[in-house]
Amino acid sequence: MLISCPHCGPRDLAEFSYQGDATRIRPDPASTDAKAWYGYVYARPNPAGRHREFWQHAGGCRAHLLVVRDTLTHEIYEVTFARPLPGTGETA
């Protein structure tokens, strides 16, 4: 599988590290709602089809990326920086 890093270009999957599901919403850090925290930490959906994920280009520029990938075919639809680029406000 190739992931096209917005900074480095297409690279082999071996250069990347999976960082988790990008669709989950973290509870308020001050929250004491044990059920909400349990759901955030332990409830892991296993979607079939297009899914938003965080990846890091660990073997390259070390950028954190937001990847839209089909979990059935592993086709990559979109890759963008997970955070705005310093000084630009751009996310592409």
Residue type, 52: R
Give the sign of the dihedral formed by CA 13, CA 14, CA 15, CA 17: positive
Of 22, 3, 21, nearest in space to 11 by CA: 3
Domains present along the chain, CATH in parentheses: 2-81 (3.30.2270.10)
**pTM for this model (two decimals):** 0.81
Q: What is the pLDDT of residues 21-76, one digit of tens each?
A: 999 889 999 999 999 999 999 988 888 999 999 999 999 999 999 999 999 999 99
Residues recorded for the chain: 92
Tokens of residue 84, six digits: 């705005």
